[in-house]
Structure 1
């Protein structure tokens, strides 16, 4: 029996997070058993429901609690009645910043059994990764509101780019590209309209190109870049952007690949000094929560990313293969992908595929 054991904080959160995270946990446990390691899940009730009950999304010592873990597995945050900025800044943003999870990594791949809404596009056309700077940029706390409720009311929000922050996310993107066949990085910018921060970003991208010879590069303004995601998805390999631009692109990408409901993401501390966090992209989806129809594929793919980062690449491959096998069977796919399965049935099909 292997002594490889991982302690993972499980935060289902809100809405469909409570339905899909258990499916991901079962799948992760199944591949762990098959590959000779174990997982100790530490469930945490951090959510909008907790906020309604206590006035906080997570306890004051929440960051210290998760620092004791090897990883964090997060479902979704957000629920009607709790303003989005309250749920986000009460849980997700503090975790990202206090744990220095500066690299948000979101793979975009057209999977077998899934049809892209882009006419004529197949698996070979859509296979790239969006790398998003995750802790600074446009999502800063600097700013404020003046003269509320009067005709002179004004809102100011500051964007903050640091050389350290920009350089390290660019370096991460270039290093990731070196592990992929095409070895290419595209930078998202808007330096023709945003006159201070984006020219600075472009300068640091030029410096990164010099540090990473042998990697192909391209640069697009964000407006035409979004158009090219739709028109020419085959152009892209690794796409790197600021917090806001990366956020937008990493929703558009999965939509081009068939469904945001299957999109995974990782919030990484590449130094591994603190635990990283893994979460599906799809959000809490209040409109379908509690109906048992949520697609658990994003949660399972996210679990595979987590296992790979923890040093279990073969287990991650087993989980991805099982996930892709299920997607080829309409009886195992959920309704959003044209199938007939509910959340539970899809999860059971994944477990069956893992067992072989």
Structure 2
């Protein structure tokens, strides 16, 4: 039997509702497999922890998490704690300490969910975005001077290293090489950002020589955003910097029908450190505690975790169960139904067992 130690961080808001629901689905999948077992340990590190202790997680939190195989996270952020405190106090340190330099986000129209796009090809949307996840525009280098005066100035530096760009591009090229279409679209803005983007472009063009079988294009991010809307069915693998990848994937989630259902994975490809799996949606404080949050984003994220540990067939079965549920009348209010979080998760489990 294959066993995995999983650190569970429900986080804030609806994370405390969708994570337990997704864990139940994961357990059902493991039971269906027969030779798979997950051992969980829950950690109550969140904004409430910050308000009590003055920090998002304990000083030894990263040492604690390093002993686990996988990290399963819900959502981070809640009113009363500024976003830069909650993210830089928990999410970003985990990503960077464990070299989770690939943020992987699939964009796919699921059966049972209607895309807002009117194109006849909307049903064919199925691509993945590789976002550089450890440096780029999300740097903490910079600062303020002359605070509180008319001369106050803020400086924010972006940071692109040859190592960081190379390993992200290479992951994306290899992913495209193994895909059905063998296409790679790289986001840039070298016509406006004079140093980092030409550097990114040069490395991308150089790497094309190593992957001659991959059809590669560099496209300015503003044009690529339009492409996400006009021709998303033509995309296969998209790669972008930290900021560009972040923005494009939220657009991708909207294009596929609901940002609340989008999954994501923060991956350390070398598997030297634990990888972390979290949905794209936030903590949704406006509906937290009502038991009506849509758990599909968290469950689809669990599917990505199954894929990561080599259980692709089981992951495919879970995605089918998700789609069968979405095609039924059991839907949470965000999808026009009246089901609870628990009812929707239970329906996924029932469909999973039906195969």
* TM-score clears 0.5: yes
1:241 corresponds in structure 2 to 240
* Greater than 2 Å deviation, 4+ residue runs: 120-125
Cα distance between partner residues in 2 of 1:196 and 1:266: 29
Confirm or deny: 8 A CA contact 2:115 2:122 kept in the other structure. no
Aligned residues: 353
Superposed, 1:111-190 pairs within 5 Å as 111-122=110-121, 124-190=123-189
Contact 2:264–2:279 (8 Å) recurs in 1: yes
Is the contact made by 1:47 and 1:57 (CA closer than 8 Å) also made in structure 2? yes
Post-superposition offset of 1:125: 3.0
**Is the Cα–Cα contact under 8 Å of residues 187 and 241 in structure 1 kept in the other structure?**
yes
CA apart distance, 1:123 = 5.5
Aligned to 1:226: 225
Q: Deviations over 1:23-59 (max 9, x none)?
A: 1100000010110211101101110011111111111
The within-5 A match list for 1:1-356 is 3-36=1-34, 37-122=36-121, 124-329=123-328, 331-356=329-354
**Following the alignment from structure 1 to structure 2, what is the Cα–Cα distance between the partners of residues 121 and 53?**
52
**CA 1:300/1:121 → structure 2, altered by over 3 Å: closer, same or farther?**
farther
Q: Structure 2: how far apart are the matches of 1:118 and 1:310?
A: 34
- SS in structure 2 of the partner of residue 39 of structure 1: strand
- Residues 59-107 of structure 1: CA distance to partner in whole angstroms, max 9, x if unpaired? 1111111111110000000000000000000000000000000000000
Q: 1:315 Cα deviation (Å)?
A: 2.0
Question: What secondary structure sits across from 1:174 in the alignment?
Answer: helix
Aligned-residue RMSD, C-alpha = 1.0
Shift of 1:16: 0.7
Distance 2:181 2:84 in 1: 38
Per-residue CA shift, 1:301-355, capped at 9, x if unaligned?
Answer: 00010011112222212211111110111x2122212233121110110111122
More divergent stretch after superposition (277-286 vs 312-321): 312-321
Moved more, 278-287 or 116-125: 116-125
1:246-297 Cα distance to aligned partner (Å, 9 max, x none)? 0000100010000001100000000001110000000111111112111100
CA distance in 2, matches of 1:140, 1:207: 25
* Contact 2:104–2:265, Cα closer than 8 Å, also in 1: yes
SS of the residue 1:284 aligns to: coil
Please give the alpha-carbon distance, in whole angstroms, between the structure 2 residues aligned to 1:333 and 1:108: 20
Once residues 325 and 313 of structure 2 are traced to their aligned partners in structure 1, the CA distance between those partners, rounded to angstroms, is 19
